[in-house]
Amino acid sequence: MSGLFSEFMIRAALAGLGVALAAPWLGVFVVWRRMAYFGDAVAHAAVLGVALSLMLELPVVLGVMGVAVIVALAIAAMETPRGGIGADSLLGVLSHGALAFGLIAVSFLPGARLNLEAYLFGDILAVSWGDVAVIWGGAAAIVGVIAWRWRALLTSTVNPDLAWSSGMNPDHDRRILTLALALLVALAIKVVGALLITALLIIPAAAARPLSRSPEVMLVAGMGIGAVSALCGLGLSYEFDTPAGPSIVAVAVVAFALGRLMPARSAA
């Protein structure tokens, strides 16, 4: 039991909580706007960001953030179907293409293959106090920006025409959401990894949706589910020696399944 309260577990718990509490602020809009594939594309691009960071000897967070922003903005620019290709197909090409090029780039780095699993599935137990500070600082920035634009984002999500007529700019708010999503990906890659970031983004919000009477209740419930998933997943990982990132996501999936069994309320 004392091992659960060792310094590395405390750092891991704080890092997991930082990401879990910030993710639902974006997750509620990702769920409402049906942007799951968008989140996947940005998350997969993180692997390319990792490779470029290692090549240029830059902090991984900066490399991942830069590539994620570029990919996110590129996706936003390609939303309108072109040449008979649907937006979902373009997202699929960009998502898997970024992942493929990232994996190829990593293969050219000496010794990087051994660390690739940490970037794909996370290595939350290896976070430092510096990582914790960066995660909480970034999480605070995400929460601050989304809270500031909450009403505008909500209006443009529910009724874009009403947003335009009210003097709001849905395109501007979507870009804000896109940049915040890129920041979350950069923060979360060490916690759950590039392949599981979207799960942590979507599952707590989706689990909270049937149980919520309002968007604000959905947000708070999603934060609670995310926090419990992070802490319980870490505890299970320690107890049964399972990978920490997948364990966190697995707990969130169980919460989602239990939520579906409960009587639904007026969903947000």
DSSP letter string, 233-265: HHHHHHHHT--HHHHHHHHHHHHHHHHHHSPP-
Q: What type of residue sits at position 69?
A: V
Number of alpha helices (DSSP H) and beta strands (DSSP E) in the chain: 12, 0
Could you tell me which residues are beta bridge partners of residue 85?
A: 82
Domain ranges of the chain: 2-261
Instruction: Report the mean per-residue pLDDT for the chain.
Output: 86
Residue 114 has pLDDT above 60, yes or no: no
Cβ count near 107 (within 10 Å):
11
pLDDT of 2: 53
Token pair, residue 105, equals 């780039």
pLDDT of 102: 84
Residue 183 has pLDDT above 50, yes or no: yes
Q: Note the pTM of the prediction, 2 decimals.
A: 0.89
**Structure confidence at residue 265 as a pLDDT band (50, 70, 90):** low
pLDDT of 18: 96
pLDDT of 136: 96
CA 131 to CA 62: how far, in whole Å?
Answer: 12
Residue 13 has pLDDT above 70, yes or no: yes
pLDDT of 87: 63
pLDDT of 268: 47
pLDDT of 201: 92
Token pair, residue 184, equals 């979350």
Residue 267 has pLDDT above 50, yes or no: no
Residue 24 has pLDDT above 70, yes or no: yes
Residue 182 has pLDDT above 50, yes or no: yes
**Structure confidence at residue 206 as a pLDDT band (50, 70, 90):** very high
CATH number of 2-261: 1.10.3470.10
**Out of 33-47, 141-155, 236-250, least confident range:** 33-47
DSSP code of residue 195: T
Could you tell me which residues are beta bridge partners of residue 256?
A: none
CA 137 to CA 47: how far, in whole Å?
Answer: 22
Strand, helix or coil at 85? strand
Token pair, residue 40, equals 């996947």
What's the mean pLDDT in 61-84?
A: 75
**Structure confidence at residue 255 as a pLDDT band (50, 70, 90):** very high
Nearest residue to 135 (alpha-carbon basis) of 192, 97, 82, 218: 192
Residue 210 has pLDDT above 90, yes or no: no
Strand, helix or coil at 82? strand
Nearest residue to 191 (alpha-carbon basis) of 3, 7, 6, 13: 13
What's the mean pLDDT in 54-71?
A: 85
pLDDT digits (tens, 9 = 90+) for 143-178: 999 999 999 999 998 888 888 888 888 888 888 888
CB contact at 8 A, 226 and 252: yes
CA 95 to CA 98: how far, in whole Å?
Answer: 5
